[in-house]
Amino acid sequence: MPPITRRGLVGSSTAGLAGLGLLGAAQAAEPDAGQPRALFGTVGNGQVTLPPLDNAGDLAGKVPQRDPTTRRLGIAVVGLGHLSLTQILPGFAQARHVRVTALVSGDREKARVIAAQYDVPERNLYDYKTFDSIRNNPDVDVVYIVLPNAMHLEYTLRAAAAGKHVMCEKPMATSAADAQRMVDACRQAGRSLMIAYRCQYLPEYRELIRIARDKTFGQIRLIEASNGQNNANNGQWRHNRAMAGGGSLPDVGLYCLNAARFITGEEPVEITARITQPKDDPRFREVEDLCAFTLRFPSGVLASCSSGYSYHENRFLRLLTTEASVGLDPAFSYDNLTMQVSRRVGTSQGLDHRRWSPHNQFALEMDAYAEAIRAGRTPLTPGEEGLQDMRIIEAIYQAAASGGVVRMAPAARLDATRGPPPAQES
C-alpha cells in the first residue's frame, strides 16, 4: 500500500477512503453516522449545551458562552504600556461580555499599530488632549484607566464627566484624598466605578475565601504574604514618588494588604511597619525598597506582610489555621497559581496540590464588571474598596515613620467596602 500523504488523502474519493479503512472515522464526525442526535447538543436562549463525554467523577468543561459582538460592552483602554499590551488587550480574546472598542495613547503611531491588531477603527483612537470627546462615542461604555498612579484621578474625573463607567487599575490613587474625589465624582455623575483587583475575581481566591469563612480547616490564626521583584534600574515611573505615590508598598505590597482584608472580610484595627530606602541605590532616591508590615484584625487574626523592589521575584500567600496550612504559591502572578493544603491525614502529614484551568485574569474581572453594570449592582471591588486600601497604606507609612502602632476604627460589618461576589461562570 502506498504511503498516506496529505495530498493523497485530500484527493481520495469515498471509495478510496473506504479502501484505506478511514471511512468510519470520516463519517463519525457527522450526526447521521449512527450516533444519537442528542450528542450534538441543544440550542436554547442563545446558548449551546453539549452532553458530557466523561463520567461525573472527571472534570467536564462546559461550552464557553460568549455574547454576540454587538451585545458586548465596549471598553476604551487608556494607556498602552506593558500591562495593557501584555495582559489586558490579549484578555479580550477570552472575554465573554466585553470587547475593546477604543484606544487612548499619547503616541499616535503606536495606537495605530495596536488598533490594527485588535480591529479598533481609526475614528476610535484618542490622545490625552482629545480624550473628552469620547463622550460622543456610543461604542464606548467603559473607560479602563491603565496609567501611572498619579494620573488615575484626572482620567477618572474626565471619564465620569463624559458619562462613561470607569474601571481603574490599582493602586487607586496616590492619596486617600484623591481616591475619595474619584468615588465622589462617579457617584455624582451616576456612573459605576470599579477598581481592578483581579485576584478577588479568580476562582482560586474565591475558594480560599470559602475555606477561610467556612472554617474548613479550623480558625485562621496567622496570614503570611510576600510580594516582591527585582526592578530594572531604567528610570521607570515606579521609582518617581510624584507619579507612583510610593515604592513597593502601593505597587506590589498592596496585593498582600488587600488579600488579608478580603479573605477575612475584616478591617485592621492596629498597624505596625518598617521600611528600608537604600541610599546607595539610585532606584530608591525617592521611594522605599522593602516594606514589612503587620495588621491585627478584630477577630485576633494577625497578617504579616512584606514587599520589595530589590530581590528575586517571590509571590506567596499562606493561611495558618488551627488544622492546616493553606496557601497559594505563586499567589499574585498572572498565571500558574497553585494552591497547597498541608494537614494531618491519619498519622501522617498530607500535602494536597490544586490547580484550576488556565484563564486570563483580566477577562474574568472585565466580564464580571460588565455583568454588574448590566444588572445595575455594585461591583465586587468598587471605589470604596480602593479608598480603604489607600487609607491603610497611609497608616502603614505613618507607622513606619513613627516606629509605633497606628490604630484604626473597626468596620461595622464584614466586607463593608465590597459589592456582592459575581456568579462563577464555567
**CA separation for the pair 240, 18 (Å, rounded):** 71
Active site annotation includes 170 = yes
Active site annotation includes 255 = yes
- Nine-digit cell at 265? 472580610
Question: Which one from 144, 155, 164, 170 is the annotated catalytic residue?
Answer: 170
Backbone angles phi, psi at 232, to 5 degrees: -70, 145
**CA separation for the pair 392, 305 (Å, rounded):** 13
* C-beta of residue 251 within 8 angstroms of C-beta of residue 385: no
The angle subtended at Cα 365 by Cα 364 and Cα 371, nearest 5°, is 90
Task: Measure the CA dihedral 418/256/290/183, to 10°.
Answer: -10
Question: Which one from 205, 255, 309, 369 is the annotated catalytic residue?
Answer: 255
- What is the set of active-site residues? 170, 255
